[in-house]
Every structure is written in structure tokens, then in C-alpha cells.
């Protein structure tokens, strides 16, 4: 599937919302702010990774408690866009406030406040995914859900690529002076001062403004379910009653429940791969901001292809088999990536000094670094495909009239064990004083999810929606 022209303006505007929210992931959550927080604000990559894991553990508890409840309430009120608008209004200023995260946490926000902001942002981002995904089944016919979902994921990764290009060439490379190119500005854009780490602190404000501006097409053009007219108090009461009614019918939801449990595990692994890619790369190979942005930039085309190809495969062989292919490949590539250090390649000792530099380019001059990047290219495609395929499988098997509630449960399944996954990363990192040991726990979650997924049937649940 490569022809988005099949879809109308409202559908493409829905997909474009992914373009709007993706720079938060790339600039704040993965490549720039996460590494800056661990290495510069905290000042210790191991302790920083541990705190980042703690923040995401708290996010897991928050999302686990609120996602299904908010989803059930949204089903009662009907419209999803007002919820998304409220979340944009929360996230945009919260991103901007990260500007005051100072080196060593001196003269700016305390580390506890920064962690709290990360919790608010990450939880809100999870909720945007829930409400945005719940709109999908009403926007297109069943046999094209996979294609539209894939376009949304690919569009989000295109947004990542654009944001990384702007920040890399406009800010990071001029700040570092490591690369001399005629078209680079002499100083970072906006007059940013590298000595004060302003070129790294700007990641939050850029993501916030980006989200605020580029979310507008969806609010203007994408059709939403009609509001039911149910007031807030009644919606809460009836939403909680409906959630309880749904849970009482658990025996009729065994297939959906098994899928959510499987997704709970392998998604936690996928999210952890994303969350720690920059922190692990910077801590293991000593990459600076410029290197991290180049790393992210070269991954993005593969992520775009992964979303499109994943949607194409989904529409042809089914969502379940598409997920099995993508998650299985991710497991293999992740083990390979963990085998890379400055002195090892595939766990075999490697003497970088004796081998010499691969090229004169300022970044990634050793073979382990290049191999690490190549393996992450594979994972960029497979992780992205799995996200698209997982959303599609939920849209195929959930009761059509209770989609927000079930995407609330879907959101829960994507975050409920994040306290376990991120907690394991934090605990293993602390116990072994090793970033590699902490990240290794991710593979266990991926494999456990694959085992459970094998028992899932790709068929829609029939459920009584009445309370």
C-alpha cells in the first residue's frame, strides 16, 4: 500500500496528527532531552537511566488506572476530539517548561520537578494515542484499516525526520563545530548558547510548539463521532458502570483479553527500545547531541517504510501474522545490538585502536557503532510495523460500538506493565551498574508477548453494550 490518495482529506488529517505529536518522541523522549537529562542534568548516565526508568514506571501506574476509565467515559460522551484538544493544551506548555532544566539541576528546575513533567508528558502522550486510535474504525472500511493505520505511523515518522533535520543542521551541528559544511549557519538558530546547553534545552519548546501548530488539521477536517449530549456527571457514572459491565462479561472476551496481555508484554519491550535507544547509545559510545540526531535521522526512513510495508502486509496476511513477523525480527536484532560496545562486536573482543577509523566523518568511526546503527535500522522498521499492526488488530477484534473503551483497555495494555519493564531496566541497571544489563530485560518481554500472541484468534468480539 503506497497510495495515500485513496483516502480523503479527513482521513489524511487524522494521519497527520501523528506528524504533529512525533517530535515529542524524537526530541524529548528519545534522542535529545533524554540523553541531556541523564548525562548533563543528572550528570551520571547510569543514575540518569535509572531515574528515567522510575519516571516511566510512574507513568505505567497512571495510565493503568486512568486509560480504561477515560475510554469508557469517552464512549458515553461520543466525541473524541475534545479529549485530544485538552491533551494538546496540557502537553504543549509542559514541553516548553523543559527549557528550564539546567545542567546539574542548578539555577533551574529541581530534578524532582523535571521527573514530574516527564510523567505528565508521557502519560498524556499515551492518552493521545488512545483517543486518536479510537477514531480509526469510524474513518474507513474494515479492509482498509491496516493501510490507514500504516499511513498514520509513516506520517509520524516523516514528522520525526523533518524535526531531526531542522534541529541537526540548524542547531546541533553549528553548536558542536564537528562538521564543516558550507550551508550550515555559523551559530545555532535562535542565537542559542551551547555553553549553557541551550541547544539541548530547546528540544522541549520546539516539540511543544510543533504539536500545537500541526495538530490543527485534524481538529479542522477530520470527522468525529457526534456528541451524545450526555453531561460530565452522567458520563462518568455511566462510563464506570459500562466498564464494570464489560469486566463481568470477561468470559466472552477471553480472546481479546489474551491479545491485550500479549500486547502488554511485547509493547512494553518496543517502548523500552525507543525510550532507551538514545540513552544507551550516548552512554555506551559517548555520542553527543549531533551524533544522536544523526543516529535518529538515519533510522527514520526505515521507520517510514516499516509503517507503510507493515500496513501493506497487514491487509494481505492479517494483523496477527504481521505482528509475529515484526516482533520476532525485533528480538533477533535487539540481541545483536546489545552485543555491540566500543570493545566488542557480536560479543567478540574488538580492538578499535588497531582497526583504525572507518572514515574521516566526525561520527560513527568504529565498526561496532556502524553495526549497532544497522541493527537499529532493522528495529526501526519492525517496531514501527508492529505499532501499526497492533492498532489494526485491536480495531478488527473489538466491539464496534465500544471502541473508545476498548482502546482504553488497549492503552492500558500498552502501559500497564511499563512499571515492570521500566522498573526492570532501572533495577538491572542499578544492580549490575551496567546499561547493557538493564536493557537486556527488554528481550524477555518481547519473547513472552510472542508466545501469548500465538493463541489469539483474529475475529471480532460480540458483546452486549447495554448496562
> How confident is the model over 195-208, as a mean pLDDT?
96
Report yes or no on 465 lying in a domain. no
In a domain, 463, yes or no: no
- What does the pLDDT average to over 171-181? 85
As a whole number of angstroms, the distance between CA 45 and CA 56 comes to 16
Mean pLDDT over the full length of the chain: 84
What DSSP state is assigned to residue 463? -
Contact 327, 450 (CB under 8 A): yes
Residue for grid cell 494538546:
88
- CATH number reported for the structural domain that contains residue 190 in this entry: 1.20.1250.20
Winning range, highest mean pLDDT, from 99-113, 123-137, 305-319: 99-113
Q: Is 159 helix (H, G, I), strand (E, B) or coil?
A: helix
In a domain? residue 460 = no
The phi and psi torsions of 349 (rounded to 5 degrees) equal: -55, 140
Other beta carbons less than 10 A from residue 146's beta carbon: 28
Q: How many domains does the chain have?
A: 1
DSSP secondary structure of 58-85: HHHHHHHHHHHHHHHHHHHH--SHHHHH
CA of residue 406 relative to chain centroid, distance: 20
CA dist., res. 64 & res. 130, Å (int): 12
The verdict on residue 169 lying in a domain is: yes
Please state, in angstroms and rounded to a whole number, the distance separating the CA atoms of residues 275 and 271.
6
Could you tell me the three cell numbers for 202? 530547546
Question: What's the residue count for the chain?
Answer: 467
Give me the mean pLDDT over the 92-96 stretch: 97
Which pLDDT tens digit goes with each residue over 416-444? 555 666 777 777 777 888 778 888 888 88
- The C-alpha angle with vertex 146 and arms to 143 and 148, in degrees rounded to 5, equals 100
Q: Picking from 5-9, 133-137, 296-300, which range would have the lowest pLDDT averaged per residue? A: 5-9
Strand pairing class (344-345; 348-349):
antiparallel
Three-state DSSP state, 344? strand
**pTM of the model as a whole:** 0.73
Q: What's the rounded Cα separation, in Å, for the pair 463 and 235?
A: 20
- pLDDT more than 90, % of the chain: 38
Q: Please report whether residue 62 resides in a domain.
A: yes
Q: Which of 381, 393, 388, 413 is nearest to 459 (CA)?
A: 393
What pLDDT, on the 0 to 100 scale, is given for residue 1?
37
Q: Which stretch of 25-34, 114-123, 342-351, 389-398 has the lowest confidence by average pLDDT?
A: 389-398
DSSP H or E run through 349:
strand 348-349
Of 145-159, 248-262, 288-302, least confident by mean pLDDT is 248-262
Tell whether 467 is covered by a domain: no
Record the cell numbers describing residue 337, joined without a space. 545490538
Q: 458 lies in a domain?
A: no
Can you say whether the dihedral through the CA atoms of 173, 179, 184, 187 is positive or negative? positive
418 inside domain: yes
Q: Nearest Cα to 276, choosing from 433, 92, 465, 48?
A: 48
Q: In this structure, what DSSP letter does residue 341 have?
A: B
Dist. CA 109–CA 90, nearest whole Å: 18
User: What confidence score (pLDDT) does residue 289 get?
Assistant: 86
Q: What is the pLDDT of residue 20?
A: 97
Q: Residue 375: which domain range?
A: 4-453
**The C-alpha cell of 107 is what?**
539555577
Look-up of cell digits 553527543: 288
User: Which residues have CB under 8 Å from 388's CB, separation 6+?
Assistant: 146, 149, 150, 152, 153, 306, 307, 310, 311, 314
Q: What is the largest CA-CA distance in the chain?
A: 72
Amino acid at each position: 500500500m503506497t497510495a495515500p490518495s485513496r483516502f480523503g482529506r479527513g482521513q489524511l488529517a487524522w494521519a497527520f496528527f501523528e506528524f504533529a505529536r512525533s517530535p515529542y518522541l524524537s526530541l524529548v523522549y528519545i534522542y535529545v532531552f533524554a540523553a541531556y537529562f541523564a548525562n548533563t542534568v543528572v550528570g551520571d548516565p547510569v543514575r540518569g537511566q535509572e531515574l528515567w526508568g522510575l519516571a516511566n514506571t510512574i507513568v505505567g501506574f497512571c495510565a493503568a488506572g486512568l486509560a480504561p476509565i477515560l475510554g469508557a467515559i469517552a464512549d458515553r460522551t461520543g466525541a473524541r476530539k475534545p479529549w485530544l484538544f485538552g491533551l494538546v493544551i496540557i502537553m504543549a506548555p509542559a514541553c516548553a517548561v523543559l527549557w528550564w532544566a539546567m545542567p546539574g539541576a542548578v539555577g533551574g528546575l529541581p530534578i524532582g520537578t523535571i521527573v514530574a513533567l516527564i510523567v505528565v508528558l508521557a502519560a498524556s502522550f499515551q492518552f493521545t494515542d488512545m483517543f486518536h486510535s479510537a477514531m480509526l474504525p469510524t474513518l474507513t472500511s474494515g479492509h482498509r484499516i491496516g493501510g490507514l493505520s500504516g499511513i498514520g505511523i509513516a506520517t509520524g515518522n516523516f514528522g520525526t525526520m523533518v524535526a531531526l533535520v531542522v534541529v541537526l543542521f540548524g542547531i546541533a551541528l553549528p553548536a558542536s563545530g564537528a562538521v564543516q559544511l558550507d550551508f550550515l549557519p555559523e551559530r545555532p538558530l535562535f542565537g542559542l548558547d551551547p555553553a549553557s546547553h541551550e541547544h539541548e534545552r530547546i528540544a522541549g519548546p520546539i516539540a511543544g510548539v510543533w504539536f500545537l501548530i500541526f495538530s490543527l488539521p485534524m481538529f479542522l477536517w477530520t470527522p468525529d463521532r457526534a456528541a451524545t449530549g450526555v453531561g460530565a456527571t452522567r458520563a462518568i457514572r455511566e462510563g464506570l458502570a459500562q466498564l464494570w459491565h464489560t469486566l463481568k462479561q470477561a468470559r466472552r472476551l477471553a480472546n481479546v483479553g489474551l491479545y491485550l496481555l500479549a500486547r502488554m508484554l511485547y509493547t512494553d519491550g518496543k517502548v523500552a527500545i525507543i525510550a532507551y535507544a538514545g540513552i544507551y547509545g550516548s552512554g555506551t559510545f559517548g555520542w553527543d547531541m549531533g551524533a544522536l540526531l544523526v543516529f535518529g535521522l538515519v533510522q527514520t526512513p526505515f521507520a517510514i517504510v516499516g509503517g507503510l510495508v507493515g500496513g501493506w502486509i497487514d491487509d494481505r496476511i492479517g494483523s496477527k501474522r504481521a505482528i509475529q513477523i515484526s516482533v520476532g525480527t525485533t528480538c533477533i536484532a535487539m540481541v545483536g545490538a546489545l552485543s555491540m560496545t566500543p570493545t566488542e562486536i557480536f560479543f567478540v573482543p574488538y580492538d578499535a585502536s588497531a582497526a583504525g577509523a572507518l572514515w574521516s566523518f566526525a561520527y560513527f568511526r568504529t565498526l561496532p557503532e556502524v553495526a549497532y546503527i544497522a541493527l537499529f535500522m532493522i528495529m526501526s522498521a519492525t517496531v514501527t510495523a508492529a505499532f501499526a499492526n497492533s492498532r489494526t488488530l485491536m480495531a478488527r477484534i473489538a466491539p464496534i460500538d465500544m471502541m473508545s473503551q476498548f482502546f482504553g483497555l488497549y492503552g492500558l495494555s500498552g502501559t500497564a506493565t511499563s512499571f515492570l519493564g521500566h522498573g526492570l531496566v532501572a533495577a538491572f541497571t542499578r544492580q549490575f551498574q551496567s546499561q547493557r544489563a538493564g536493557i537486556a530485560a527488554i528481550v524477555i518481554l518481547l519473547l513472552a508477548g510472542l508466545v501469548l500472541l500465538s493463541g489469539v484468534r483474529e475475529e471480532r468480539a460480540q458483546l452486549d453494550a447495554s448496562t
